[in-house]
Amino acid sequence: MDKPKGNPLRPQTTLELLDRAFNIYRENFVAFFGLVAAVTIPITVINLATNFWYTNQLFSTSIDGSSFRSGRADVSALTASLALLLVLLLVTIVVAIIQGVVVSSVLTYMTSERHLGRVAGVREAFDAVRPRLANVGVALVLFYIILILVALALTVVLWLCGLGFGLIGYLGVTLYAFLVPVLVLEQTDLTTGMKRAWMLAKARIWPVLGLIGAVALINWVLGQAVSWTGLFVTRQAIAPASFGAAQALQILVQAIVQIFLAPVLPIGLTLLYYDARVRLEGLDIALQSANVPDPRPEDVPSPEPPPGWFMSSDDYRNVGLFMIGGVVVVGALCGLSFVLVGGASRLFF
């Protein structure tokens, strides 16, 4: 058994957790990368097929004059094309959700085992999480439904002022952060698991936001660097010869970046889940007291959400800070856009 250095079941800072996440990723790179690649490649193939088909449709339908009748395009052909494109997009979304559930669950279990000093392969992890995939899938669907309903319920004024963005951000971070770790690693039903995920995440909202922000920034910087490099190569060397080949290569480069970076966030959130449970529920003591060898979180009872678990005064204050932050971000983006547009206008006009 490969024990980690130090005691993993202790409170850690966000930087320590982020460092630990990259160490676990590096030590299990082949397994993590291979798992995400096996899931992402089929989706990439579907995306390529959809893009090529749609591009061919645009060039083959009704633009050359044969499909115009008395100055009007063939509406029925266009409608059929759009309907088929919608079906292809829906298939892509459904496949992505199903495979995303599998990847998130397997990565969470493998990270948990590694954090506790064990090594689990992809097959072993999949066998362990298989009975819980349905709950994870339903929970993620409910998560998206809740976000959509809340977004629709917000008034236009909230959106325009930026307050709505902050509220959606708070709900998204709090609902999602520990949803998969709780449902995969604990013995709990769907309803209790969603309550516990919400309760743990809102109690540690700022470390969660810090971790997600740090991972997002790293992903953005690396993604932009690789994407711009790939875009430059395709435009300079391939695009003049074949537009389709350039498009395919660009999608391939983006897929490779996605495969490389995708495991980081699930690994980080799993480690932060352990940190939250150690701080709030004494998970380290509970595991030490368990009457089973090499215990896991599923081997100890999960505490029931206490009265008032949904929201407290501190939580309302955090929601307010998120909403104010949304206003600041929207204002900063509007100001930046104004500066860029103004600079461009002075440059060209």
Indicate yes or no: pTM above 0.85: no
Let me know if residue 299 belongs to a domain: no
3-class SS string, 118-162 = CCCCHHHHHHHHHHHHHHHHHHHHHHHHHHHHHHHHCCHHHHHHC
Question: CB neighbours of 113 closer than 8 A, spacing ≥ 6?
Answer: 119, 120, 125
Residue 70's pLDDT is 45
Would residue 221 count as lying in a domain? yes
Confirm whether 118 is domain-assigned.
yes
Helix (H) or strand (E) holding 308: none
Question: What pLDDT shows up at residue 127?
Answer: 92
Name beta bridge partners: 73: 68
Q: What's the pLDDT at 336?
A: 72
Strands (E), the chain: 68-69, 72-73
Q: What is the pLDDT of residue 231?
A: 62
Return d(Cα 164, Cα 329) in angstroms, integer.
Answer: 12
Enumerate residues 6+ apart whose C-beta is below 8 A from 7: 284
Give the count of domains, the chain: 1
Could you tell me if residue 295 is inside a domain? no
Give residue 125's domain range: 14-289+310-333
- The confidence score (pLDDT) of residue 54 equals 59
Residues lower than pLDDT 50 in the chain? 1-2, 62-73, 343-349
The contacts of residue 167 (CB under 8 Å, 6+ apart) are 150, 154, 158, 319, 322, 323, 326
Task: Determine, yes or no, domain membership for 342.
Answer: no
What pLDDT is stored for residue 237 in this prediction? 56
Percent of the chain with pLDDT over 90: 26
Question: What pLDDT, in 10s, does the model give residues 143-186?
Answer: 888 888 888 877 666 666 667 788 888 999 999 999 999 999 99
- Percentage above 70 pLDDT, the chain: 69
Classify residue 348: in a domain, yes or no: no
- Residue 131: predicted pLDDT: 92
* Per-residue pLDDT at 344: 45
Q: Is residue 3 part of a domain?
A: no
Report DSSP state, residue 235.
I
**Rounded to an integer, what distance in angstroms lies between the CA atom of residue 162 and that of residue 92?**
31
Q: Print burial letters for 134-152: b (CB count within 10 Å at least 16), e (below 16).
A: ebbbebbeebeeeeeeeee
Alpha carbon of residue 268 to chain centroid: 12
> Is 130 within the bounds of a domain?
yes
Residue 288: per-residue pLDDT: 87
φ and ψ of 72, to 5 deg: -115, 140
